[in-house]
Structure 1
Amino acid sequence: MIVLLQTQINIVLSILLSILLIHAYFNINRKKVTNKLIICIMGLVCFSLLLETVSILLNNEDLKQFVVLHKLVNIIGFMMAPVILFIGSIFNKEWINRYQKEKLVVNKILLIPLIINGVAALISYNKNGVFHVTSQNLYERGPLFFITPCVTYIFFSYNLYIIYKHREKLTYSEFCTLSLLYIVPAIFTSIQLRYSIYLTAWNSAAIIIVISYIFILNDQAYRDTLTGLQNRLAYDHYSQNISQKKLKKLNIVYIDIDDFKAINDRYGHCEGDEAIKVFAYLLRESFQLRQKKLIRLGGDEFLIIIENQPTENVTAYIESLVQNFEDYNNRGEKPYRLSFSYGRSCYTKPVKNICQLLECADKSMYEQKQNKKSKI
């Protein structure tokens, strides 16, 4: 009965992941590294579930003729577990730095535990290594079984360390989702290690992968595809639910790129897109705090929403943005200079309607822009 239940659960989860794989392949942008990696992880978890199902079915004295297949299935399964977590570590770093300019370098030291685990699994084909399949075609844990759990928990710990180390670059929802991606399988893997009759490791991994994929789809729906900043839909969602937030102070900075039309007209729309991306990058570099929203409302209009921060802090962030633009322009990377006009507004009472704040900031920004033109 237990074997039948385990097999049914694995098959159901494999079908679910297969459906999501098809959906991901045809509906998300596979040019993005993070999307490629989550598809890869999803596929490997699905494959591992199928391997585990086959291993359960082959673990039978009446199927002695399949001893070789039984061994191969377990070798592949033991080798894949830490490999998926290794790919997960690359996914974490890509997600955290997905809008940064620098290229990420894979930590080659992490390949050492993978190699050790792989060798231990391969040894098990002829010797009593990580596992042993008896002459009666029955699976048993071998004297080197501890290697795979040790390597697996090294990667669990490393991934959680990376997430915690860069927590300031993540929103609360990103931090929680990425953490659960490893905490939940780690807990259920420990249950399976203690009680081998309960195959909970890959089941929990499959479920958390489904949740993570839903999170990724939701995140992409609220992202501007050009800049990676949040989009107008994210602003609308925020403004509709702001009355539910208990904010002591809310600051809004409304920004518009100066003479952006001239850049488009003289250098082309492709160069205009590059200017927008540079602008978004400098925004991220200047506003490195968690309780904020960086939004591209459309065209060359941007909105920064900062929660529960003193006015002097907001001023310091804006000054940092001005300095970052000055530094960028002084490097002379482009034949034109990037500049911006901004307006800001602040509210210290419970906010029910953000539109008034936005109108106030917009008016202030327009006045600054007009003052610049009058000085020319």
Structure 2
Amino acid sequence: MLNLLPTQINIVLSILLIILLGHAYFNMNRKTTTNRLFMWIMGLTCITSILEIFSVLLNNPNLKQFMVLHNLVNIIGFIVTPIIPYLAYIFIKEWVNRYQEEKIETNYILLLPLLINGIATLTSNNESGLFYITSNNTYERGALFFILPCVSYIYFVYNLYFMYKHRKKFTFSECVMFSSYYILPAVFTVIQLKNYVYLTIWNSAAIITVITYIFILNDQAYRDGMTGLGNRLAYEQYAQNINHRKQKELSIIYIDIDEFKNINDQYGHSEGDEAIKTFANLLSKSFTLRQKKLIRLGGDEFVILLEENQKEKVVSYIQNLTQNVETYNNRGEKSYRFKFSYGLVGYINANESIYQLLERADQLMYEQKKSRKSELYG
């Protein structure tokens, strides 16, 4: 009776995960590595939750005829359980790699705990293994049961270490969301380890998976798919919030790539797309302060929103961009050279909206572009 409520919760969450997995399959871009990985995580979490339901239901002396099935259910569950946090590590790594030129390599040593756990599980058939099914068809932990939680916690700890090591590549919301994905199951694992009648592990894992799915969908809605920068919808959201808060420390830089049409015309739109991605990476490298928004409004137009109103500091970031662009041009990787024009404005009038600021920045950018053309053609 003690397992009745957790089992019912498991059933409800398993149904929810099945529905969301179907939604993800038909609505997410399955060519994207992060999307495929997360669908695998969602699917395996659902499978493990279902296995736990069957394990509880079959753990009954009156169902001795199903002892083989009972044993098989637990074997599969023990093997699959640590695969999920391992895939979560791969997912986080690929999440960081999505729009980076320098990719983070996979740590293949992390496959070793999976191998150890798998061998230990397959060789468990008595009290000296990870688990065993008694002659009365009841589940019992074996002497080597500690291997499974140890392997799981290796991944929990390593994933948190990985995020801390690469914390500058994550936004604040990503840090909170993905840290919770490891911390909450780790906490609830302790609860179930101490008293396994409380089925807290996969209930918590299913809930955090659902929340993470919502987070991913929200992220994709507000992110430019080509560059990884914010899109126009992200700008609109920020603009509404910034007006509501009456932000007084704000600078807007409107940037346009010079002669971008010539790149498209001479080298094709595919190369034009690569140029956009490269310039977006240069923007990310140049504007390193945390309180910023990098937006691609469309085409070759970008907006940088900085919660900083000291002109000297803002100009220093533009100088970073100028230097990084020049360094890239001097490497000679492309037969064309990047040039850009910009307009910079600061928030000085409490009655002025962010849209008016953007309009002024846009005007200043075009004035700079015209002056450069005048210098070029006389």
TM-score, normalising length from structure 1?
0.95
Answering whether residue 319 of structure 2 is matched by residue 319 of structure 1, we say yes
Contact 1:51 1:73 in 2 (8 A): yes
Distance in 1 separating the partners of 2:114 and 2:247: 47
Distance in 2 separating the partners of 1:18 and 1:236: 34
Partner of 1:140: 140
Q: Deviations over 1:314-346 (max 9, x none)?
A: 222211111111121112222211111011111
Distance in 2 separating the partners of 1:163 and 1:247: 30
Partner of 1:337: 337
Q: Deviations over 1:90-111 (max 9, x none)?
A: 1111112311123432212212
Partner of 2:117: 117
Q: How does 1:21-60 map to 2 (within 5 A)?
A: 21-60=21-60
Change (3 A) 1:278 1:165: same
Contact 2:3 2:198 in 1 (8 A): no
2:136 maps to a residue whose letter is Q
1:317 maps to a residue whose letter is Y
Moved segments of 4+, more than 6 Å: none
Q: Deviations over 1:112-153 (max 9, x none)?
A: 222222222122135531112101110011111111111111
> Per the alignment, in what secondary structure is the counterpart of residue 2 of structure 1?
coil
Answering whether residue 366 of structure 2 is matched by residue 373 of structure 1, we say no
Higher deviation after alignment, 328-337 or 176-185: 328-337
Distance in 2 separating the partners of 1:87 and 1:145: 22
Distance in 2 separating the partners of 1:276 and 1:204: 41
Distance in 2 separating the partners of 1:339 and 1:156: 45
Structure 2 alignment gaps of length 5 or more: none
2:149 maps to a residue whose letter is P
Distance in 2 separating the partners of 1:154 and 1:313: 42
> How large is the Cα RMSD of the aligned pairs?
1.7
Change (3 A) 1:214 1:350: farther
Q: Deviations over 1:48-89 (max 9, x none)?
A: 001101111110111112222211211221122211101111
Higher deviation after alignment, 326-335 or 46-55: 326-335
> Per the alignment, in what secondary structure is the counterpart of residue 30 of structure 2?
coil
Higher deviation after alignment, 228-237 or 327-336: 327-336
Contact 1:243 1:351 in 2 (8 A): no
> Per the alignment, in what secondary structure is the counterpart of residue 31 of structure 1?
coil
Partner of 1:217: 217
Identity %: 64
Distance in 2 separating the partners of 1:310 and 1:138: 69
Answering whether residue 304 of structure 2 is matched by residue 304 of structure 1, we say yes
Partner of 1:289: 289
TM-score, normalising length from structure 2?
0.95
Distance in 2 separating the partners of 1:18 and 1:342: 49
Q: Deviations over 1:29-56 (max 9, x none)?
A: 1111111111110000000001101111
Distance in 1 separating the partners of 2:175 and 2:271: 34
Contact 2:308 2:314 in 1 (8 A): no
Distance in 2 separating the partners of 1:229 and 1:103: 17
Answering whether residue 156 of structure 2 is matched by residue 156 of structure 1, we say yes
